Amino acid sequence: MEISRLQKIISGSGLLSRRKADLLIKQGRVTLNGRRALIGEKADPKSDRILVDGKDLPKKKNHKVFLLNKPHGIISTCQDNHGRKTILSLIPFDLRPGLHPIGRLDSDSRGAILLTNHGELTLRLTHPSYSHTKTYMVWVNGQPNQSILNNWRKGLLIDGKMTMPATIEVIEIINNKTLLKVILKEGRNRQIRRIASLLGHPVQDLQRIAISNIKLNGLKEGKWRELKTKEWISLLD
């Protein structure tokens, strides 16, 4: 028997976090063996039937999530027809099956990228409706004034569609280049580079330092680490 609290069983399935599971139980959206589940109840996932919003829990899968600090020149795909080095090649061969990158970083950009075999996590981090942030440190040519930065913050028209509001902070100015901290809630193709060029301050260097609450925190370029479940489970809320 593997009797555990319902919140732990639900979060262990990879469906959502314990905090979110607790909320759904309170809202009456979880049933245990055909009746409304109660806070604090325990169950055996092998013999008890647990439904969330009328659906069975997904079968437990060994979900893997890796944080990689991508160097320049690496392609953010699983394979490349031109023989270029991909991010998957930086992960040991025995850990690669089923992994795919969540989103992309241009080959000439560097920094944080996640790889996983978790489909729902991929959706949550790539779909703009979930509003997960991505944080970048960006060196641009010149010294953009406040008017230019405010236009960037409010949003600009790219490919016929306005970009979402962004957080832009000036970190440092050296000679004739500026370091900006840019926080986005979307990730269109080469978005930062295109906007910076449009505003007359092309990007010299771009590094993503965080994806939502997951930060590089000293992880060296070209290196990776496997995230603990508690580090990424809240991203499913």
Output b/e per residue, 8-23; b: 16+ Cβ within 10 A. Answer: ebbbbbbbbbbebbbe
Instruction: Please name the helix (run of DSSP H) or strand (run of DSSP E) that holds residue 126, with its range, or none.
Output: helix 119-126
Query: What are the distances in angstroms from CA 72 to CA 86, 110, 141, 190, 223?
Result: 11, 5, 19, 15, 13
Catalytic residue among 48, 80, 106, 205: 106
Q: How many CB atoms lie within 10 A of CB 204?
A: 13
* Cα 152 from Cα 132, distance rounded (Å): 19
Question: Can 94 be counted among the known catalytic residues?
Answer: no
Residue 160 φ/ψ region, left for φ over 0, alpha for ψ in the -120 to 50 degree band, beta for the rest? left
The values of phi and psi at residue 29, to 5°, are -95, 5
Residue 170: count of CB within 10 angstroms of its CB: 13
Integer Cα distance of 124 and 68 in angstroms: 19
Tell me which residues are annotated as active site: 106
